[in-house]
Amino acid sequence: MEKKKKYLGILYIICSAFCFALMNMFVRMSGDLPSVQKSFFRNLVAFFFAFVIMKKEGILFSCQKKNVSALLLRSVFGTLGILCNFYAVDHLVLSDASMLNKMSPFFAVLFSYLILREKITVPQAVFVTGAFLGSLLVIKPTFSNMDFLPSVIGLMGGLGAGIAYTFVRKLSLGGEKGPMIVCFFSGFSCLVTLPFLILDYHAMSGIQIVTLLMAGLAAAGGQFGITAAYSYAPAREISVYDYSQIIFSAILGFFVFGQLPDLLSWIGYGVICTMAVLMFLYNQRKDGSRLVRR
């Protein structure tokens, strides 16, 4: 039974990774629109999805007073993360943008120490440092590199997502329900971006509207897929499969946009994925040792 749950968790997290890769593809396909406008439509769809689920499960749109600040901070950094990620998706090879966004688990480790006071061991610190060095191979930080600024913004998207995930953990530990967190975040993001959308609205064709709605549907699928995955199995057992998004993004980028990452990017992918696998194996071993001691 436990093995079946684990396999279901793996299946859901791979489906989630595919959905997020599709989201990035649709965001890119929507054309030359401001990142704020793309973010608004993406979060609008996710908001209604989460709201329907809350109604179905009888979850109230309210939170405990002690969790208000964490909920707001999760929403602020989550919104910044999405805006930076969408900018990177529009200006970089799709797999590069996805890889930089996948730095978020490593940033989550760092900020779990700073915010939640969860200890970082020496091996974890080494893995985080290794992943950051791998990201430099993707960014290629030289002033002659035209993709340098979008790459840095993409990395900042991973940073924002990592901080947001840290606050999601804090909220979960504080007893808040997943659909409520998603609904609040999506609604907050829509309200924050609405004034910028009104001031700098770009007229959209029917195809662009449909494409952005598809991006929102894919994002909702990704969010609820990852929530379902972690309900079947703990993160330490399945989180590494989330990196399948890079494979999906590379395939979609090649067949849809004719994109092919350069050699340094491939090496960077390898370094970051290796650090993710080592972190995954280390956490499993650490948890196993803890169970033996009990």
Q: Could you tell me the residue range of the domain that residue 268 belongs to?
A: 2-293
pLDDT of residue 179: 85
Report the alpha-carbon distance of residue 36 to residue 20 in Å, rounded.
18
Q: Contact 138/268 with Cβ under 8 angstroms?
A: yes
Supply the pLDDT for residue 142: 58
Q: Any alpha helices (H) in 58-177, and if so which ranges? A: 68-91, 94-101, 104-116, 122-139, 148-173
Candidates 47, 43, 50; CA nearest to 178 is 50
> How far is it, in rounded angstroms, from Cα 143 to Cα 160?
24
Distance between CA atoms of 153 and 159, rounded to whole angstroms? Answer: 10
Q: What integer pLDDT is reported at residue 144 of this predicted model?
A: 57
Number of independent structural domains in the chain: 1
For residue 293, what are its two tokens?
Answer: 């001691």
- Average pLDDT of adjacent 10-residue blocks, the chain of 294 residues: 76 89 93 91 89 88 86 94 92 87 81 81 84 82 70 91 84 82 91 92 92 91 79 68 84 90 87 86 71 52
Flag whether the pTM goes above 0.95.
Answer: no
Q: What span, in angstroms and rounded, lies between the C-alpha atoms of 224 and 46?
A: 10
Rounded CA-CA distance 197/75 in Å is 18
Give residue 25's pLDDT.
94
**Do 36 and 83 touch, CB atoms closer than 8 A?**
yes
